[in-house]
Structure 1
């Protein structure tokens, strides 16, 4: 990294973003995938109904929805670096606690309670990590690395939905009960996360601009002024509509994708095993998603978000048709299923980079840490509410009609995309940078 490209406030010789951006966003993605995806598969293995799984795990989105309520505290108190490291240790401890609850008499309720606490720690970590990213990198670096951060966030998904789902299936195949299998998985996760926290304690840079507010500014008035500044942004109604509805189809599809793959044929599913899901969806699909994220970030850095927006949006929504085709055709070939999932995930990876860069645009200003957190809170609300009813809807419609509805649900997302305004060349790396 050349001194001319150092972030504001960084010293010459500062660590390259490659030393910490990948691991930081891997650490951000892992607890989220545990709470929102691994828990779905775990409860499915423990024979909880689709309706209960979708309803109760969707409630786990709530900490990400309401995290803007305490995001100004992260901006006011302590450094973002300190928040990141402390919360990573807390998440590691929570993962160990999940493992301890699984053999208990009320395992479903107890594990949900711990996952709820872990979700609060993870949501708070997101605030600090995103704020650190915005402070430690220049604007063109943020655009160039938006694909990298999205990619390694998805690498966490590969490790979770791929390797860890496969591990649970392997332990079960060797004779362990599902409870013991998932205890082993959570124990592995806890150890890995504590190692990540130790690495970041050593390796995260210390940008000069990463500083708490002066003590004379830490008052309730400052807290509310930070909030008020966000809600005075121009075009706020369109912004909120876009944040809430861009992922409206995905919010419903995500909750039922793995149950669809795992359910037997007589229930309309594809009757895959945990190991097959780990390979097809959690590995092949997420590698494709990772490549899509990298390509999306590169495209935005080359042509800017405005020119890239519509191609990326269409790439995100159109491939959802593969689930509808599979629901009718019930392909018996794991290769065919893996290829279909790869197409869908590659498109999603492309489209999600546009969403991330739009949130960077909205957060621009003096309080970008808190304002970016507010954006992600609305993003989480847009995922939480549709996810809550998706299990009930699928139970009543069946998988083919449910996936047809997901395609219809792209209309609000496309409508809001048509309304947003992007500055010319925003996100593009200028030749003078």
Structure 2
């Protein structure tokens, strides 16, 4: 039996440290480069390619599995990420800042992907299965909260500094330095808060995973229903992957070109306040109901809750309501549905990875998930330009259908994730 390691103290911030770098690298970089005069074509291609480290992280995840401890890995990677963001901040006033900052973002992306592998493995090794299901909602919520901190608070800071200094280069230079300092503080907190009891756990894990890298990797593809499993992982976020890339441009673009005409600060406030609250509530409820009833009962309702709010953006794009409250209502519904629904998807990935080499297998599963985000994201700008915002959001909604259909063919224990003691007597 594992000792009480006070998961409430370390799970929230450890997952915050996974989501914040991802948000800065994948999403905030888009807004930053747009404001610094980089073309939409370059932004679309190069920022989407930053997904690649998350796609190929299974290739080096066995090293994290078999050498040192997960705790040492994620602390080292978080420190590297902190330094990288500081370098990006100092590079923005320089000539050729785009090339320099992209190169540093690549380093940060590889470190962030490695941090995710180590953090995921630490979570699965340090907690019992009933704890994993209970804290899944908290875990996914704080991951998403960190992304909203990036897309909300950090964007607000960047927009404020743009107005304060009248110099976008100086504004985003200071903003990225602030991000680097924030990551440094988070790393220090995780150093003191995460339990130092992993040594024995890792030793046992290594003894169970002495097989070669090839064996660890190939064993994932020998799992039951693997073809359907991979298709589901790749297609589940087909709509969301395109929505995330084009949502900010849609909200910021002028009404004359089909957008909603909001300022950068408006977008940050909407997502950084009401979005945070609704996401938090949705994520917590999602983890609780799975822990209470098991994954089987909630898989379909959670998928629908995650995807149906896209209809709100279809309506916004077609009718362009003058009241900002319609935008708030749509964002609230979308964020609640995301927090509630994504818990089911992540719980299913834990089921897929369960067994020997669980850390590597979870990494492989999330690598395929990242591939399902990268490829459609690279095409989303071209699709939006061709269809216009109104038809684009209709397409995004239709793109959620394949994942929904595939979910009905998945075979898994219906009570997976259910808290021990909740079974029927």
Class of the TM-score when normalised by the shorter of the 2 chains: over 0.9
Check conservation: 2:251, 2:267, Cα contact below 8 A: yes
Shift of 1:217: 9.4
- Please give the TM-score of this superposition, normalised by the length of structure 1: 0.94
Question: Is 1:258 the equivalent of 2:222?
Answer: no
Question: Is 1:131 the equivalent of 2:121?
Answer: yes
1:248-295 residue CA offsets vs partner (Å, 9 max, x unmatched): 100011000001111112221111111100011333223322221111
Whole-Å Cα distance in 1 between the matches of residues 298 and 207 of structure 2?
A: 44
- TM alignment of 1:56-95, pairs within 5 A: 56-95=46-85
Question: Is 1:342 the equivalent of 2:332?
Answer: yes
Question: Is 1:327 the equivalent of 2:307?
Answer: no
Check conservation: 2:65, 2:206, Cα contact below 8 A: no
1:208-244 residue CA offsets vs partner (Å, 9 max, x unmatched): 543257999998x621111122111111101101110
| Residue number in structure 1 paired with 2:198 | 207
| Residue number in structure 1 paired with 2:8 | 18
Structure 1 residue ranges (4+ consecutive) displaced by more than 6 angstroms after TM superposition:
213-219
Describe the SS at the equivalent of 1:419. Answer: coil
Unpaired segments ≥5 residues, structure 1: 1-7
1:374-403 residue CA offsets vs partner (Å, 9 max, x unmatched): 010000000000000001111111111111
Describe the SS at the equivalent of 2:95. Answer: coil
Whole-Å Cα distance in 1 between the matches of residues 206 and 308 of structure 2?
A: 51
Segment drifting more, 340-349 vs 79-88: 340-349
Question: Is 1:314 the equivalent of 2:304?
Answer: yes
Check conservation: 2:71, 2:198, Cα contact below 8 A: no
Check conservation: 1:157, 1:282, Cα contact below 8 A: no
| Residue number in structure 2 paired with 1:5 | none
Query: Are the structure 2 counterparts of residues 294 and 218 from structure 1 closer, same or farther at C-alpha, using a change threshold of 3 Å?
Result: closer
Query: Are the structure 2 counterparts of residues 111 and 212 from structure 1 closer, same or farther at C-alpha, using a change threshold of 3 Å?
Result: farther
Shift of 1:196: 1.2
Whole-Å Cα distance in 2 between the matches of residues 115 and 286 of structure 1?
A: 26
- Please give the TM-score of this superposition, normalised by the length of structure 2: 0.95
Check conservation: 2:61, 2:363, Cα contact below 8 A: yes
Shift of 1:49: 3.4
- TM alignment of 1:402-413, pairs within 5 A: 402-413=392-403
Whole-Å Cα distance in 2 between the matches of residues 427 and 147 of structure 1?
A: 12
Check conservation: 1:161, 1:283, Cα contact below 8 A: no
Unpaired segments ≥5 residues, structure 2: none
| Residue number in structure 1 paired with 2:109 | 119
| Residue number in structure 2 paired with 1:3 | none
| Residue number in structure 1 paired with 2:169 | 179
Check conservation: 1:135, 1:209, Cα contact below 8 A: no
Whole-Å Cα distance in 2 between the matches of residues 48 and 185 of structure 1?
A: 18
Check conservation: 2:292, 2:422, Cα contact below 8 A: no
Shift of 1:78: 0.3
Shift of 1:43: 1.6
1:74-113 residue CA offsets vs partner (Å, 9 max, x unmatched): 0010000110111110010011011022112222222111
- TM alignment of 1:267-282, pairs within 5 A: 267-282=257-272
| Residue number in structure 1 paired with 2:418 | 428
Give the CA RMSD over aligned residues: 1.8
